């Protein structure tokens, strides 16, 4: 029997990270060029009920029952088995890889869980539809991050640009122009759970100021959605820049990100900000096509570990 394979994309939050945890809207787009992949195959001849995990990027080469409590792979498999009501474990080998850097603001944990649950449920003969997959991916994110908004799993499962809020769920956003983004790695790893809990602490100590900043971020997200719909590149750039100022006030940036963000702006980016959990990880820069080379070089010169180019396509957004 051939292996059953599945994949899931990385994601970029254009506007609204962290504020989305407090009920504000946020705008996220799929980053389809970077993916996590899972393959599951029957393990002929092995004792029944054995599931072997091989995940080079996560440093795993072991029996799933020996995985530590609250391990992402263990959680994802358990969630699928419980959802499908399967008590007898299948005997199989599972291979998991990711091109998405971990703890870097690109949604790696959601993508790994989604790829794994897609492949495993299909292997079990009951592929999960998007709605059920999204609900399970949210549970997986909750086990890993504690208090996720749900934006990461949603954009990763549906692989469309979305406006998301905890109260209203998601709406697919159609843009009327191609928006080019450069995405650069600051080289600093930071777990999202840490930045989310740091902000929660600050919020409880200073609810008025932090609350006002969070609400302004919500308005910027709405401005960004209008800009995408109207194909207004400068307006989106302005929203990104202001969002970065507010994230800095929330103490969510760091010197390495600041250096990359100002290098991108000086080289001609229309707007630049951190993306995801912050305090490290990746930044993004909205850049006109004729400035891409210049901004990419400036980012590399300013210390970016890697620079990716992705396009939020008019056609894709209209799909
Ligand atoms: O760092 P990432 O890719 O996990 O993105 C986190 C986004 C936050 O808004 C900070 C948290 C959340 O759950 O929405």
152 is catalytic: yes
Joined tokens for residue 62? 């072991």
Task: Note the pLDDT tens digit of each residue in 85-116.
Answer: 999 889 999 999 999 998 899 999 999 999 99
User: Quick one: what percent of the chain has pLDDT higher than 90?
Assistant: 90
If one counts every other C-beta atom within 10 angstroms of the C-beta of residue 214, the result is 22
Which CATH architecture describes the domain 174-312? Answer: 2-Layer Sandwich (3.30)
Q: Which residue has better confidence, 164 or 317?
A: 164
Q: Which of 152, 185, 232, 238 is catalytic?
A: 152
Q: Quick check: 264 and 298 in contact, CB under 8 A?
A: yes
pLDDT of amino acid 45: 87
Indicate where the chain has its CATH 3.30.70.890 domain(s): 174-312
* Closest atom, ligand 1, to C-alpha of 150: 13
pLDDT at 137 over 90: yes
Contacts of 131 (CB under 8 A, 6+ apart): none
pTM of the model: 0.95
Task: Note the pLDDT tens digit of each residue in 197-219.
Answer: 999 999 999 999 999 999 999 99
CA 232 to CA 176: how far, in whole Å?
A: 9
Report whether residue 247 contacts ligand 1, using a CB cutoff of 6 Å.
no
Pairing of strands 51-55, 92-98: parallel
pLDDT at 317 over 50: no
Helices (H), 43-146: 72-84, 108-123, 130-145
pLDDT of amino acid 263: 98
Joined tokens for residue 281? 């990880």
Contacts of 294 (CB under 8 A, 6+ apart): 267, 268
pLDDT of amino acid 145: 83
For the domain covering 4-171, report its CATH number.
Answer: 3.30.230.10
Report whether residue 100 contacts ligand 1, using a CB cutoff of 6 Å.
no
Task: Note the pLDDT tens digit of each residue in 150-203.
Answer: 999 999 999 999 999 999 999 999 999 999 999 999 999 988 889 999 999 999
CA 226 to CA 243: how far, in whole Å?
A: 15
Joined tokens for residue 69? 């409590």
Hey, whose CA ends up nearest to atom 7 of ligand 1?
A: 276
Indicate where the chain has its CATH 3.30.230.10 domain(s): 4-171
| Mean pLDDT rounded to a whole number for the chain | 95
Report whether residue 218 contacts ligand 1, using a CB cutoff of 6 Å.
no
Report whether residue 224 contacts ligand 1, using a CB cutoff of 6 Å.
no
Q: How confident is the model at residue 319 (pLDDT cuts 50, 70, 90)?
A: very low
């Amino acid at each position: 029997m051939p292996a059953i394979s599945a994949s899931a994309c990385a994601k970029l939050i254009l506007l609204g990270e962290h504020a989305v945890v407090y009920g504000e809207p946020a705008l996220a787009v799929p980053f389809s060029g970077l993916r996590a992949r899972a393959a599951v195959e029957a393990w002929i001849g092995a004792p029944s009920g054995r599931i072997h995990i091989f995940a080079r990027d996560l440093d795993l080469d072991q029996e799933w029952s020996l995985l530590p409590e609250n391990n992402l792979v263990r959680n994802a498999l358990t969630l699928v088995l419980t959802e499908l009501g399967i008590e007898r474990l299948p005997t199989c080998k599972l291979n998991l890889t990711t091109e998405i850097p971990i703890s870097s603001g690109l949604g790696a944990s959601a993508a790994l869980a989604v790829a794994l649950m897609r492949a495993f449920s299909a292997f079990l003969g009951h592929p999960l539809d998007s709605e059920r997959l999204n609900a399970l991916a949210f549970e997986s994110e909750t086990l890993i991050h504690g208090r996720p908004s749900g934006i990461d799993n949603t954009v990763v499962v549906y692989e469309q640009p979305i406006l998301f809020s905890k109260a209203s769920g998601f709406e697919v956003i159609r843009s009327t122009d191609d928006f080019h983004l450069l995405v650069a790695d600051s080289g600093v790893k930071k777990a999202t759970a840490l930045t989310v809990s740091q902000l929660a602490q600050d919020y409880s100590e200073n609810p008025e100021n932090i609350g006002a900043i969070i609400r302004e971020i919500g308005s910027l997200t709405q401005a960004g959605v209008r800009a995408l719909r109207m194909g207004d590149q400068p307006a989106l750039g302005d929203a990104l820049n202001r969002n970065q100022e507010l994230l800095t006030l929330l103490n969510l940036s760091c010197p390495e990100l600041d250096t990359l963000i100002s290098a991108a702006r000086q080289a001609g980016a229309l707007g630049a900000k951190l993306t995801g959990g912050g305090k490290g990880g990746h930044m993004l820069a909205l850049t006109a096509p004729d400035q891409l080379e210049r901004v990419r070089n400036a980012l590399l010169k300013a210390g970016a570990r890697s620079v990716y180019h992705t396009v939020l396509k008019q056609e894709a957004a209209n799909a």
